[in-house]
């Protein structure tokens, strides 16, 4: 991603194109410089689920968090550097049972967002996952 508009466009377009998402909105954006920016996007899903995508970019490096929640967090993927013992450090996944495990994410939003959406479809059950198989 070379700019905030490009990153924001990628995230919102991908979410809007997913049958999992009913509504998508940019909650917050900040551009500190052409090479340093932040965005937070939320999507409403079925079953009263919500997905929040937070990405901070600094000179081509992305700090990210993809969080599924209702009233409280359910699961999250992020690359906060707090799980050094995991094989794919700093990428990790907070599971619904509270475990922290290695994550397949790479820190590239274009590649990671489809992985997150597939995992959410699998978690949410056949109603959501059956509708989202054509992506």
Whether 94 is covered by a domain: the verdict is: no
Which pLDDT score, from 0 to 100, does residue 129 have? 46
pTM of the model: 0.89
pLDDT of residue 85: 82
Confidence (pLDDT) at 83: 77
Does residue 99 sit within a domain? no
- To which residue do tokens 């009263």 refer? 48
* 124 within some domain: yes
Model pLDDT, residue 131: 44
Question: CA separation (Å) from 85 to 10, 89, 92, 99?
Answer: 32, 7, 10, 14
Residue 87 falls within a domain, yes or no? no
- How many domains is the chain partitioned into structurally? 1
**Cα distance between residue 58 and residue 35, in whole Å:** 6
Residue 39 belongs to domain spanning: 4-79+107-131
Query: What local confidence, expressed as pLDDT, does residue 1 receive?
Result: 56
* Average pLDDT per block of 10 residues along the chain, 135 residues long: 89 95 96 96 95 95 96 95 82 94 93 96 70 42
Do the domain assignments include residue 62? yes
């Amino acid at each position: 991603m070379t700019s905030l508009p490009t990153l924001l466009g990628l995230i919102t377009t991908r979410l809007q194109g997913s049958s999992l998402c009913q509504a998508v909105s940019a909650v917050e954006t900040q551009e500190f410089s052409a090479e340093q920016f932040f965005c937070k996007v939320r999507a409403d899903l079925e079953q009263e689920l919500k997905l929040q995508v937070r990405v901070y970019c600094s000179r081509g490096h992305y700090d990210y968090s993809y969080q599924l929640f209702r009233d409280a967090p359910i699961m999250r993927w992020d690359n906060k550097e707090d799980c050094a013992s995991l094989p794919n450090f700093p990428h990790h996944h907070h599971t619904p049972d509270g475990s922290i495990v290695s994550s397949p994410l790479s820190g590239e939003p274009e590649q990671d967002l489809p992985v997150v959406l597939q995992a959410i479809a699998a978690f949410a059950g056949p109603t959501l996952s059956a509708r989202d198989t054509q992506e």
